[in-house]
Structure 1
Amino acid sequence: MTSTVDSSPATWVDYTPPGLFASVMGIAGLGLAWRKAHEVIGVQQFIGEVILLLAAVVFAVVATLYGIKALRGSAQFKSDMVHPVRANFVPAATIGMLLLSTAVLPYSRIAGELLWILGTAGHLFLAIRIIRRWLGEPYEINTVNASWFIPVVGNIIVPISGMRLGYVETSWMLFSFGLVFWILLFTIVLYRKLFHDPIPAKLMPTVAILVAPPAIGFVSYMALNGGQIDALARILYYVALLLAVIVVSLFPKLVKIPFGLPWWAYTFPMDALAIASLIYASATGAPGVEMVASIALALATLINIWVGYKTLRAIQGGHVFVSE
């Protein structure tokens, strides 16, 4: 029997791009950075909470649209799930849930735990699904880009709320899984960039994702080890910091690239660096780190505002919900 769902004509909802979930990561990460800034340097508390509320609203809208797209079983959704680039942004939805669980936890343990369980289980499922495809299907090296970090390295985020909720072994397991794959994929991405065809211009913003694994890895590791600054904590933080310096030095070149949803890749890594720097400054009192945190927070805020504005303009102009 032929499915009536598959044969129905495509609508604008069927062109909801999974890359929109990266906006949830960027906005939620910014809200968590401002919340941490309230704890460490005393900025107004309401700033972070308002941003986190906005992240929840954006997630609800994007998840509803993408959920409708998935339920329709359209060809566009099926294409997303096997595409070498778009498939990597689908797990950004579950990362968004993990970040929102951290946002909600101070207000409701039940809601925070529910979001964490759904986000953790969903992300692990998607990560395993994508890794099985990597192992079972041939891939061209030129399809590799930094967005490949999202599905597997996203597991690093799990301990941030997981440890507070008491899921110690699950947090360690998925942190370890994500950390090892970060090292492996970093090598592959760098090899592809150095020795093969240039990354397509529209995907160049994804180089900023290189900053996220060590930065958010530091945040998660601090949750795992009880907030102790040890050798691994220092390695993760300083690798993130120096990668951020490299990425920021590329901004004059990167901002010349025509706007697209991959621009959201600029946001969450800078959010994560701001959070990591605030935690490092609070734990060590190291000179200059608080200033680094303030600069990272300011940059993260400006980048989120700019990319958000450009996204709204692109939606208004009919450039987002379209066939790629």
Structure 2
Amino acid sequence: MAEMIIAKKLFSYLPVSLFGSVMGLSAISAAWQLVEDLSVSSYFSAIFACLAMVVFVMLCVAYGLKIITSFQDVKEEFANPITRPFFATFAISLLLLPFCLHLWGFFQLAFYVWTCGVVLMLIFSAYIVSFWISYPHNISHITPAWIIPVVGILDIPLAIPILQIELLGIMELARISVAIGLFFTTPLLTLILARVVFFEKLPDKLMPTLVIFLAPFGAGVGAYLVAYNDHLLPLSLYFIGLFFFFALIPQILRVYLCCPFRVSWWAVSFPLAAMSVAGLKISKMVFMYESLLVTQIYRFTAIGFLCLTTLIIIWLTLRTLQGIFKGELKSLA
């Protein structure tokens, strides 16, 4: 019986990038937790937190079965320079899940999950940079997903305030994370833009990953505020992120109108949710020194972005569930 199970490949088609859905669900839950004056905020944050935890457990089981029964497929996925960066989505999910676990009262578990995420993120980031330096790469290998494994370090400080971590050196860890994440943002964005502008466009199925451009700026706002509690650089990061968002709208609409749905579309969820969190934090920050009118503009922008992101994530969730119930998940991978 055991041999029959191993002989049958289970979830061999399941991409590791689907852990990006956990990132998006966790981040949108964290965003709604920042909205304290709307009656629906607690319901949205609780629903998305529950979804994130359930999806994470299901993906861990499914991908675990893939590792056991289809290890060669996992090796090929890891060896592929285009899909390799997506393995960081598992570690980043661990860094963001504490927002959901904390909401449901699992404080100790949230700390252990975050700690595992920190260790895995730092190890994988160091490995991926070493890999990039050690081996030659084709221009077609460079995609927005390259941002994930290194700039994803910016997600390390985000949960420190809610976990109330007071360990020795914790702020140094936050500042190291900000330094590494922001340092690599510039060269990686330059490489990706050079590929897209001067060499070749992304394949249609990877076009949604362009939204990953927003992630360093959305996550960078929260990370910098934790590490330094200064408002000047976070404001600049937020404005750059908004600029990229409006610049990418035509591409997003083109993909939606001309390309069939793929699970890779979940790549848009976390960057948009991170920008929602950034907008809400910025609106609270400017309240301290800006006029009421300016504060309300920031607030309106942040709430509007949050509502848009929520609708997109709800659509992604329903569309993915539809594919699962119809048995189409393999064709959507």
What is the CA deviation profile of residues 219-265 of structure 1, one whole-angstrom value per residue up to 9, with x for unaligned ones? 11111123x31x21211111111111222343321212221111111
1:296 aligns with 2:299: no
- Cα distance change of structure 1 residues 137 and 9 upon mapping to structure 2, 3 Å threshold: farther
Judge conservation of contact 2:9–2:66 (CA < 8 Å) in 1: no
Residue in 2 that maps onto 1:244: 245
Letter in 1 for 2:267: A
Judge conservation of contact 1:35–1:48 (CA < 8 Å) in 2: yes
Alignment of 1:35-54 (within 5 A): 35-38=33-36, 43-54=40-51
1:66 CA displacement: 1.2
1:101 CA displacement: 1.6
Counterpart CA distance in 2 for 1:41 and 1:273 is 19
How many residues are paired up? 317
Judge conservation of contact 2:53–2:100 (CA < 8 Å) in 1: no
Judge conservation of contact 1:267–1:300 (CA < 8 Å) in 2: yes
1:263 aligns with 2:277: no
Alignment of 1:162-181 (within 5 A): 162=160, 164-166=164-166, 167-181=170-184
| Greater shift in the superposed pair: 55-64 or 9-18 | 9-18
Judge conservation of contact 2:22–2:93 (CA < 8 Å) in 1: yes
1:150 aligns with 2:123: no
Residue in 1 that maps onto 2:317: 308
Counterpart CA distance in 2 for 1:133 and 1:142 is 17
Identity %: 27
1:73 CA displacement: 6.2
What is the CA deviation profile of residues 67-92 of structure 1, one whole-angstrom value per residue up to 9, with x for unaligned ones? 23234461101111111222121111
Judge conservation of contact 1:97–1:115 (CA < 8 Å) in 2: yes
TM-score (norm 2): 0.88
1:184 aligns with 2:187: yes
Counterpart CA distance in 1 for 2:40 and 2:29 is 12
1:97 CA displacement: 0.9
Letter in 2 for 1:78: K
Counterpart CA distance in 1 for 2:324 and 2:247 is 31
2:277 pairs, out of 275, 278, 281, with 275
Unaligned runs of 5+ in 2: 288-294
Counterpart CA distance in 2 for 1:247 and 1:199 is 14
1:116 pairs, out of 114, 117, 128, with 114
Judge conservation of contact 1:27–1:52 (CA < 8 Å) in 2: yes
- Cα distance change of structure 1 residues 10 and 191 upon mapping to structure 2, 3 Å threshold: farther
Letter in 2 for 1:224: A
TM-score (norm 1): 0.91
Q: SS of the residue aligned with 2:137?
A: coil
Counterpart CA distance in 2 for 1:190 and 1:309 is 32
Judge conservation of contact 1:205–1:254 (CA < 8 Å) in 2: yes
Counterpart CA distance in 2 for 1:143 and 1:315 is 30
Unaligned runs of 5+ in 1: none
Letter in 2 for 1:47: F
Letter in 2 for 1:265: A
1:158 CA displacement: 0.4
- Cα distance change of structure 1 residues 27 and 171 upon mapping to structure 2, 3 Å threshold: same
- Cα distance change of structure 1 residues 280 and 41 upon mapping to structure 2, 3 Å threshold: farther
Q: What is the root-mean-square deviation in Å for CA atoms of aligned residues?
A: 2.2
1:17 aligns with 2:26: no
